[in-house]
Amino acid sequence: MPTNTSSPAVIEVTPYTQQQPRWYCEQLEHGKVLSFRKAPFPFSEDDARFLLSQKQTGSRFHKNISYRPASDVLKGADPGADRERLHTIVRNFSREVTQFISSFLAPYAGKLKLDFASFRPLEEQGRDLPLHKRNDLLHVDAFPTRPTRGGRILRAFLNINPAASRVWNVGEPFHEFLPKLKHREVITPPPRNPALTALRKLGSRIGLPVPDRAPYDEYMLFLHDWLKENTDFQTSSPKWELQFAPGSCWMVYTDGVPHAVMSGRYALEQTFIVPAQALVSPEVAPVNVLHKIAGMEAIQI
């Protein structure tokens, strides 16, 4: 059996504790973080050194460098940067991590939707951000511009900082914390405006950049903000500190595991959307947990 570290939230994956791909998918879907001491895919020291040498000017709008695999577009790099090299490195990272996940998590192969990747050069500790954008408060992820319509958000991170861990807090997974929330009944997004919903659907169908959100997506966006606002959840819900050492890699369903980044800089990250049909444990997917809870039948996808 793989050894759990001191935190019940993490499973360390080592060459000596190999399990079947399906088992790893199950653990992830049930809210475990899978962690690797070193990147389980090729990533060169040279590339890491180059990324560490990049000096972003820290403009508020370009906090992270993002990469869109579908269109091969890199955004957010400073004009002075060697953008071509940066682009090549993030593109290669995205390809390598995707290839690894397609075999390590074989049940998902061919079904994953590749979302954005990013390079996160800024120190997370002490960032001055508006409440809903703060990443040091526990939250589950939901993307305003990219509705998943019930699909799950899987993310893989690599800490390329040679000198410091990336420190997270994580909480109990969705199927455990959500049913226990005392104020569940008040976590209800405002009613949808039918005219606006129809307009969005139309806009998105003809290719305008407007998100066609399902009620599920609106619920998850609302929950993201609600959790950050809720002092009781922030202070009293069970949580564990995880330290991701220099050079380590980890993956987690961030739509299900409440997480907060407390410190660290220089991480690479790739996001995947895993459609409902690809899941091995659909019963613990947030959309199905919400369906099971009385009064939440309206959370449609």
- Cα of 36 vs its chain's centroid, Å: 17
Q: Which does 154 bind (CB under 5 to 8 A by kind): Fe ion, ligand SIN, none?
A: none
Using CA atoms, how far residue 256 sits from 163, 177, 224, 259, in Å, is 30, 9, 11, 9
**What does 228 bind: ligand SIN, Fe ion, none (CB cut-off 5 to 8 Å by kind)?**
none
The verdict on 259 binding ligand SIN (CB under 6 A) reads yes
Q: Are strands 65-68 and 113-120 parallel, antiparallel or unpaired?
A: antiparallel
Distance of CA 70 to the CA centre of its chain: 18
State which of positions 93-152 bind Fe ion (CB under 5 A): 141
Does 160 help bind ligand SIN (rule: CB under 6 A)? Answer: no
In the region spanning residues 227 to 256, those forming contacts with ligand SIN, defined by CB under 6 A, are: 254
**Nearest CB to ligand SIN, comparing residues 22 and 75:** 75
Name residues contacting Fe ion, limited to 144-203 (CB under 5 A): none
**47 to 76, contacts with ligand SIN by CB under 6 A?**
none
120 binds, among Fe ion, ligand SIN, none (CB under 5 to 8 A by kind): ligand SIN
**CA-CA-CA-CA torsion for 104, 106, 110, 115, nearest 10 degrees?**
-40
Closer Cβ to Fe ion, 29 or 141, answer by number: 141
* SS3 category, 169: strand
Torsion of CA 119, 91, 95, 266, to 10 degrees: -20
Q: How far is the CB of 55 from ligand SIN (least distance, A)?
A: 19
At residue 76, φ and ψ (nearest 5 deg) are 100, -5
Mask for 78-117, x = binds ligand SIN (CB under 6 A) = ----------------------------------------
Inter-CA distances, 166 with 110, 163, 172, 228, Å: 31, 10, 20, 20
Q: How far is the CB of 141 from ligand SIN (least distance, A)?
A: 5
Nearest Cα to Cα of residue 100 among 28, 160, 40: 40
CA 129 from centre of chain: 19
- The residue within the footprint of ligand SIN, chosen from 5, 56, 88, 135 (CB under 6 A), is 135
Output 51 or 296, the one with its CB closest to ligand SIN: 51
Question: Residue from 74, 154, 261, 296 that binds ligand SIN (CB under 6 A)?
Answer: 261
In this structure, are residues 251 and 242 in contact, taking their beta carbons and an 8 Å threshold? no
- Choose the contact partner of 152 out of Fe ion, ligand SIN, none; CB within 5 to 8 A by kind: none
Check binding of 255 to Fe ion (CB under 5 A).
no
Contact 147, 211 (CB under 8 A): yes
Residues forming contacts to Fe ion in the complex (CB under 5 A) are 141
Residues forming contacts to ligand SIN in the complex (CB under 6 A) are 120, 135, 141, 166, 254, 259, 261, 267
